[in-house]
Amino acid sequence: MLLPPSRRALLTGAAAFLAAPALAPSAIAQAGWPDRPIRWIVNFPPGGAADTLSRILAAHIGNRLGQPVVVENRPGAGGALGADILAKAPGDRHVVMMSSAASHGIGPVLYRNTPYDALRDFTHIRLVGTFPSVLAVNLDFPARNLAEFVALAKARPGQVTYGSGGNGTLNHLIGQVLAREAGIELTHVPYRGSAAALTDTISGQIPAIMESLPIALPHLRGGRLRPLATSEATRPASLADVPTFIEAGLPGVTATNWFGFSAPAGVPAEIVARWNSEIGAALTDPGVIERFAAIGVVPGTMGPAEYTALIRGELDRWREVIRLGNIVVD
């Protein structure tokens, strides 16, 4: 059984942050940075988890940097289109992105022609946050729990569909792992972002969705969807009455969504240190913590070395999942 990075590994790294060297004013002056607005790439559509987290942090950091931080949505190809903007801008000190499991942990080992190297072409600076995914169904679908969902899927091979925000996303692959572990055949329906997938699930166009908790949570709280299971090893505080896949009898279905903060390769060390400090400070701000908690996100604590190691481990993990499942995405 393939195990994801442990929750402890994802949420530790504070010591590295505390030990990071402070950036002296003279170093900033020498760097002449920032001397124009910061371009913050979100490689997913507006309204998704990456977009929400980016806008929370950008608003918090902009005043401290003395320049606007402009969030720019550049979705497509499972996050690869936005990531490629950074990969093609080595040394650019004024463009950053919200990196993710999709763009940096899965896409490079799922797609044959990913136009960048997830490690070599980036400077990975900070783990921003983690959260589970949730399998949910519309209210007319007869399954009341995961066991009933699996039974229905076994009785109707290939006829039970589930939506996600796109091919190559973590939610797509969690559904494939679920199918393999449960011995069922599910049909994946990819959408261009979460909003359309949620709309079609709620309206009954498709029966189920695998969705990131921050995006699904309002619909679960509003009673528009029925949650069946969550993907981490422990239940999230915001959905404490819903079992994990492990508790429901499928220990192989475990995965954590993660988002982080990355810059292009070749960014000067003093700017990396400044970003690490600023993002780290934002993630310990009570207001930011409260806003993260409201959408089911746990702030990250990993600095550059730990976050880079996380990405390397995720590439190895999902490469093996894709190989074992013979998963191919055009």
Is the predicted pLDDT of residue 20 greater than 90, yes or no?
no
Which strands, in side-by-side order, build the sheet including 225-230? 187-190, 161-164, 208-212, 133-138, 225-230
Same-domain pairing of 192 and 301: no
Same-domain pairing of 205 and 280: no
pLDDT digits (tens, 9 = 90+) for 156-176: 999 999 999 887 788 989 999
Kindly state whether residue 88 falls inside one of the protein's structural domains: yes
Bigger pLDDT: 52 vs 45: 52
Note the pLDDT of residue 11: 43
pLDDT digits (tens, 9 = 90+) for 239-271: 999 999 999 999 999 999 999 999 999 999 999
Contact 78, 188 (CB under 8 A): no
Note the pLDDT of residue 242: 97
What's the CATH code of the domain at 160? 3.40.190.10
Kindly state whether residue 249 falls inside one of the protein's structural domains: no
Kindly state whether residue 1 falls inside one of the protein's structural domains: no
Same-domain pairing of 193 and 210: yes
Note the pLDDT of residue 26: 41
Same-domain pairing of 198 and 274: no
Kindly state whether residue 330 falls inside one of the protein's structural domains: no
Same-domain pairing of 147 and 219: yes
Note the pLDDT of residue 47: 80
In which domain, by residue range, is 266 found? 7-131+257-325
Note the pLDDT of residue 28: 47
Structure tokens at 286: 């009570």
Bigger pLDDT: 166 vs 177: 177
Kindly state whether residue 94 falls inside one of the protein's structural domains: yes
pLDDT digits (tens, 9 = 90+) for 184-224: 999 999 998 788 999 999 999 999 999 999 999 999 999 99
SS (H, E, C) 169-228: CHHHHHHHHHHHHHCCCCEEEECCCHHHHHHHHHHCCCCEEEEEHHHHHHHHHCCCEEEE
Residue 15's pLDDT band, with cuts at 50, 70 and 90, is: very low
Note the pLDDT of residue 328: 79
Structure tokens at 289: 């913590």
pLDDT digits (tens, 9 = 90+) for 50-60: 899 999 999 99
pLDDT digits (tens, 9 = 90+) for 62-91: 888 999 999 999 988 878 999 999 999 999
Contact 262, 125 (CB under 8 A): yes
Note the pLDDT of residue 56: 95
Mark which of 185, 204, 239 sits at the end of a domain: 239
Give the residue-averaged pLDDT of 274-287.
Answer: 96
Phi, psi (degrees; rounded to nearest 5) at 219: -75, -30
Residue 32's pLDDT band, with cuts at 50, 70 and 90, is: confident
Query: Which residue type sits at 31?
Result: A
Phi, psi (degrees; rounded to nearest 5) at 293: -60, -35
Kindly state whether residue 317 falls inside one of the protein's structural domains: yes
Same-domain pairing of 120 and 158: no
Residue 31's pLDDT band, with cuts at 50, 70 and 90, is: low
Give the residue-averaged pLDDT of 292-315.
Answer: 96
Same-domain pairing of 39 and 97: yes
Give the residue-averaged pLDDT of 282-296.
Answer: 95
Same-domain pairing of 59 and 199: no
What's the CATH code of the domain at 261? 3.40.190.150
Mark which of 239, 271, 294 sits at the end of a domain: 239
Same-domain pairing of 139 and 273: no
Q: Count the domains in the chain.
A: 2
Kindly state whether residue 250 falls inside one of the protein's structural domains: no
Note the pLDDT of residue 129: 97
State what percent of residues in the chain have pLDDT above 90: 77
What is the Cα–Cα distance from 272 to 22, expressed in whole angstroms? 11
Give the residue-averaged pLDDT of 108-131.
Answer: 96
> Which residues face 144 on adjacent strands?
none
Same-domain pairing of 18 and 124: yes
Note the pLDDT of residue 10: 46
Kindly state whether residue 160 falls inside one of the protein's structural domains: yes
Mark which of 239, 273, 291 sits at the end of a domain: 239
Same-domain pairing of 295 and 214: no
| Of 107, 106, 91, 104, the residue nearest 272 (C-alpha) | 91
Same-domain pairing of 140 and 62: no
Note the pLDDT of residue 78: 77
